[in-house]
């Protein structure tokens, strides 16, 4: 019941924000704006789906933003004409595998070496940013491969970008993983009480590593949607994206303390973040103030999570 109430609350917040901008921002009510919001939120939302599993364990992933950029650069290496120029059927799995590799490194650093998730993923964030600049020569990469661009910007359904369909499909996959598989069950168990989970016979190191690998795969899909929309990769971008990812997860009702996660809430959280951004832009609010508003929203979400956990403990 608490989970259902949380979903209702988050969805009601999205509706309220949308109605506010319909009134306050000229032309915000156009259907094309709603589609644009969903499309723009797709890459952040997809990465947030993976981050939901990480945060459910009580961990954190600060490398998703620059990691996405590095994976996008590698997509350019595999698929761009000036580089390896592999067929999409070969290059695309390599892109996804590279994202999984990044997640594996994070998972091993945390599970095997015992590094705190904050430190391990902070280091990966810096490494990923540096490698993206080194591999690309600090220059933008154009991916002219039409099949690759079609993945994100094509329209299997007329008027609806494929990125939206992929976001929806991956959200269903994430929901199934969280609610119907051992991966989700153990992620929540580890977040609730890692020591008790270990004593019950669960290989905590293995499953925690698999959680980070899963997050890396979702980062790879986010990179595909981000770079495939325009067929363009800018290696200096991605810094700060991880904050939007974490914000979407927390706003959606996943607890930073671990043990509770909500995939539907994460999707709505990503939509809230993008709706705020789009609405403030259309109101003519300066980008600096957009960051202020976003920060306040994140603070409110974290405060609500703290209050909710205190009430749950009291009960």
pLDDT at 154: 92
pLDDT at 43: 95
CA distances (Å), 184 to each of 17, 64, 174, 233, 300, in order? 31, 20, 9, 33, 27
Instruction: Quote the Cα angle for 155-75-113, to 5°.
Output: 125
Residue holding tokens 């969805």?
11
Among 160, 28, 170, residue whose Cα is nearest residue 99: 170
218-249 pLDDT tens trace: 999 999 999 998 888 999 888 889 989 999 99
Per-residue confidence band for 314, with pLDDT thresholds at 50, 70 and 90: low
pLDDT at 108: 97
| Domains of the chain with CATH codes | 39-305 (1.10.3470)
pLDDT at 37: 94
pLDDT at 299: 85
**Helix ranges (DSSP H) in 115-193:** 117-136, 146-153, 162-180, 182-192
296-308 pLDDT tens trace: 887 887 787 777 7
pLDDT at 307: 78
142-187 pLDDT tens trace: 988 899 999 999 999 998 999 999 999 999 999 999 999 999 999 9
pLDDT at 2: 59
**pTM for this structure?**
0.94
The distance in angstroms from the start CA to the end CA of the chain is 15
Return the structure tokens found at 287.
């980008």
Residue 62 CA to residue 243 CA, distance in Å, equals 8
- Average pLDDT of span 12-30: 91
44-81 pLDDT tens trace: 999 999 999 999 999 999 999 999 999 999 999 999 87
pLDDT beyond 80 at 38: yes
- 61's CB contacts (< 8 A; 6+ apart) are 50, 51, 54, 55, 106, 117, 121, 212, 215, 242, 245, 246
Position with higher pLDDT, 205 vs 240: 205
CA distances (Å), 280 to each of 194, 288, 293, in order? 41, 11, 9
């Amino acid at each position: 019941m608490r989970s259902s109430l949380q979903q209702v609350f988050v969805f009601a917040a999205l509706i309220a924000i949308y109605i506010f901008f319909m009134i306050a921002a000229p032309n915000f009510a156009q259907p094309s704006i709603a589609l644009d919001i969903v499309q723009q939120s797709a890459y952040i939302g997809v990465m947030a789906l993976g981050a939901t599993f990480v945060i459910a364990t009580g961990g954190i992933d600060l490398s998703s933003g620059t990691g996405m950029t590095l994976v996008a650069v590698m997509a350019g290496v595999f698929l761009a004409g000036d580089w390896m120029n592999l067929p999409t059927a070969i290059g695309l799995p390599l892109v996804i595998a590279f994202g999984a590799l990044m997640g594996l490194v994070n998972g091993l650093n945390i599970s095997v070496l015992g590094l705190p998730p904050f430190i391990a993923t902070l280091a990966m964030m810096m490494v990923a940013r540096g490698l993206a600049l080194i591999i690309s020569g600090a220059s933008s990469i154009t991916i002219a491969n039409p099949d690759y661009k079609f993945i994100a910007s094509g329209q299997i359904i007329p008027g609806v970008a494929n990125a939206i369909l992929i976001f929806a499909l991956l959200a269903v996959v994430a929901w199934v993983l969280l609610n119907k598989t051992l991966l989700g069950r153990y992620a929540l168990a580890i977040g609730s009480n890692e020591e008790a989970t270990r004593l019950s016979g669960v290989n905590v190191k293995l499953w925690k590593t698999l959680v980070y690998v899963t997050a890396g795969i979702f980062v790879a899909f986010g990179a595909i949607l981000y770079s495939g929309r325009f067929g363009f990769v800018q290696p200096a971008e991605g810094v700060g994206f991880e904050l939007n990812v974490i914000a979407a997860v927390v706003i959606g009702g996943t607890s930073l303390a671990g043990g509770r996660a909500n995939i539907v809430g994460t999707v709505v959280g990503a939509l809230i973040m993008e709706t705020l951004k789009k609405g403030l832009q259309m109101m003519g609010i300066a980008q600096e103030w957009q960051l202020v508003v976003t920060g306040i929203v994140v603070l409110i979400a974290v405060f609500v999570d703290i209050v909710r956990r205190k009430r749950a403990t009291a009960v």
